[in-house]
Amino acid sequence: MVEGACHCGAVRWRLDPPPESVTACNCTICRRYGVLWAYGHIGHEIHATGATRTYRRADGGAIDFHFCPACGCVTHYVATRPNAEGRHWTAVNMRLADPAPWLDLPIDHFDGLHSFDDLPRDGRTLRDLWF
């Protein structure tokens, strides 16, 4: 299990089971947020508590980004449409978790800016980003 919280502690999330990797995306919003995502489904593998505000792209984007209204930390996102099983794909911001237990997780790279493809792993881990 992994737990994370915004800076002020008002918004918290839990991911169970722990991720096998985290994803860095270079899309126009993720690169601004500086997030590292770990995935699951809200109400299943991912549980979030605390009041949040949301942001959705003006073009009717497929994701609601949740952030703490008090301290501003981006905590997670939730897909706006459910999958075939009725679940909403969700990602939590692993930068809000204690880094120590997760330093050896590999970083996956997703080209959300140009190709919308997963890129090959380059051997970097969370240890390379948290110092």
Strand partners, 38: 92
User: What is the predicted pLDDT for the residue at 131?
Assistant: 64
pLDDT digits (tens, 9 = 90+) for 89-130: 999 999 999 999 999 999 999 999 999 999 999 999 999 987
Burial 44-76 (b: 16+ CB within 10 A, else e): ebbbbebebeeeeeeeeeebbbbbbeeeebbbb
User: 8 by DSSP, 3-state: which?
Assistant: coil
How do the domains of the chain map onto residue ranges?
Answer: 2-128
pLDDT digits (tens, 9 = 90+) for 7-36: 999 999 999 999 999 999 999 999 999 999
Per-residue pLDDT band for 73 (boundaries 50, 70, 90) equals very high
CATH topology of domain 2-128: 2.170.150
Cβ contact 103:126 at 8 Å: yes
